Amino acid sequence: MHPWPDRLLPDALREDAEVLRRARLTVLFGLVLVGTAFGYALFYGLVVGYPSGARILAAGGACGALVVAALWLGLGVRASGLALTATLHLVVVGLMICEGGVRALATPLLSTPPIIAILLLGRRSAVAWIALSVLTLIAFGVAEAHGVRFPIRYPAAWAARMSVGSPIGQVLLVTLPLFVFEQLRASAQARADAARADAASAALTRMAYEDALTGLANRARFLERLGAALTRARGGGDASRIAVLLLDLDGFKAVNDTLGHAAGDELLAAVSARLLDATRGSDLVARLGGDEFAVLLDRVRADADAITVAERVLGAVSAPFPLATGRARVGVSVGIARGTADGTGAALLRDADAALYRAKARGKGCWALHAEPAGTCALAAGA
């Protein structure tokens, strides 16, 4: 859920997080300025009888509203922040002219433009606004020293009550934007924390279900997916559409012994890539541990469908593997088993393991079906 100031911002300002933050602050400060200016204008015009101050404040409120509207129409964030800060400064100067110059009740409000500039424009701009506020005070002082008089244009009877108005205005213009800034910062921090938590959760999920070396699914993930696939298949009335290919590399130990364990890890990663290429996109390829892999097939209509995948796997793995320390050649034996109406995932995996044992016992580099008579082993095409 986006903060409500986003409704007053064009989509172009939402692409960069820092720009969006400053844009939100600009909108919020603009609304504070508009509300405060019009509130004081009504008070001065209807209660105090101070038309000059009411007109200045009304003009400032109108300018603030125009800036917020211009930001919504595409005015740059920095230009909008500069316009709002300048509007506030000019309103204070106008009130000083109507309230006795340096001794005016509005004079302390010259401290607010630099504060607002820090929020909307950055520290460097704030320094410039500090200098401008100081120069404004000096200019009024010089003018008064040369005989210029700034008459107080509100009734003397309201002097005591008016003296309370300036501090209240300063509090509103300073604390409200700071409060809003803190709310936005806390909201952004909460979203960042949530994003980090989601990333950490995703990382833990990957660690729990992904093989670290190859990036394939691990045994836990494979068994989970196998159980879910069997449940769906039984719900459709045909558990035999699920098949498992259990693979074991032939000659892997020799690679480890001759080229080293680093080469063995490299080989396992290369085998994983070839298995992904040799299987369908909907098939789940997993590394169960060591040099043992498994493939989960769905929508198998006949043994020939599973055999076709097994043949592709045998052909893919039989080609030599170029490794950093030399070329390596391994084979693979494949055991194939299909689901049954009452069998579990673990039972299906055991059936595939029995078929794999038969394939390795009959010469390796071939596939064997669990449902075939004992001793049957089919070599890969071209073997």
For 218-236, the pLDDT digits (tens) are 998 999 999 999 999 988 8
Assess whether pLDDT exceeds 60 at residue 178: yes
Tell me what percent of the residues of the chain surpass a pLDDT of 90.
41
Render 214-233 in DSSP notation, one character per residue.
T-SB-HHHHHHHHHHHHHHH
Query: Residues 104-124: what's their mean pLDDT?
Result: 85
| The predicted structure's pLDDT at residue 354 | 93
CA 277 to chain centre: 31
Q: Which two tokens stand for residue 374?
A: 């004992």
Assess whether pLDDT exceeds 90 at residue 268: yes
Instruction: Give the model's confidence band at 12: pLDDT under 50 very low, under 70 low, under 90 confident, else very high.
Output: low
**Dihedral angle sign, alpha carbons of residues 278, 282, 286, 292:** negative
| The predicted structure's pLDDT at residue 1 | 43
Assess whether pLDDT exceeds 50 at residue 93: yes
Could you tell me if 372 and 351 are in contact, meaning their C-beta atoms sit under 8 angstroms apart?
no
| The predicted structure's pLDDT at residue 297 | 93
Which helix (H) or strand (E) segment holds residue 310: the answer is helix 303-318
DSSP 3-state of 300: coil
Hey, which bits of the chain come out as E strands?
243-250, 284-289, 292-297, 321-323, 326-328, 331-338, 366-369, 378-379
Query: Residues 202-228: what's their mean pLDDT?
Result: 82
Rounded mean pLDDT of the chain? Answer: 84
Measured between alpha carbons, how far is 108 from 134 in angstroms, rounded to an integer? Answer: 11
Could you tell me if 3 and 14 are in contact, meaning their C-beta atoms sit under 8 angstroms apart?
no
Q: Which two tokens stand for residue 262?
A: 């680093």
Instruction: Give the model's confidence band at 345: pLDDT under 50 very low, under 70 low, under 90 confident, else very high.
Output: confident
The partner residues of 333 in beta bridges, in order of sequence, read 248
Measured between alpha carbons, how far is 143 from 96 in angstroms, rounded to an integer? Answer: 13
Assess whether pLDDT exceeds 90 at residue 118: no
Q: Which single residue is written with the structure tokens 């063995």?
A: 264
Query: Residues 337-354: what's their mean pLDDT?
Result: 88
Model confidence pLDDT, tens digit, residues 32-78: 889 889 998 998 999 889 999 999 999 999 999 999 888 877 778 88
Query: Residues 265-279: what's their mean pLDDT?
Result: 93
| The predicted structure's pLDDT at residue 212 | 85
Render 138-163 in DSSP notation, one character per residue.
HHHHHHHHTT----B-S-GGGHHHHH
Could you tell me if 219 and 208 are in contact, meaning their C-beta atoms sit under 8 angstroms apart?
no
CA angle, corner 130, sides to 133 and 63, nearest 5?
65
Assess whether pLDDT exceeds 70 at residue 14: no
Could you tell me if 226 and 296 are in contact, meaning their C-beta atoms sit under 8 angstroms apart?
yes
CATH architecture of the domain with range 219-379: 2-Layer Sandwich (3.30)
* Of the candidate ranges 161-165, 246-250, 259-263, the one whose mean pLDDT is the lowest: 161-165
Extents of the domains making up the chain: 4-201, 219-379
Which helix (H) or strand (E) segment holds residue 29: the answer is helix 17-43
Max CA pair span of the chain: 118
Q: Parallel, antiparallel, or unpaired: how do β-strands 331-338 and 366-369 relate?
A: parallel
Measured between alpha carbons, how far is 221 from 208 in angstroms, rounded to an integer? Answer: 8
Half-sphere exposure of 256 (CA within 13 A, CB side): 11
Q: Which residues contact 307 (CB under 8 A, 6 or more apart)?
A: 336, 367, 369, 378
The answer to whether the pTM exceeds 0.95 is: no
Top pLDDT among 248 and 16 is at: 248
* Of the candidate ranges 9-18, 49-58, 332-341, the one whose mean pLDDT is the lowest: 9-18
DSSP 3-state of 210: strand
Measured between alpha carbons, how far is 13 from 166 in angstroms, rounded to an integer? Answer: 35
| The predicted structure's pLDDT at residue 365 | 85
Top pLDDT among 179 and 30 is at: 30
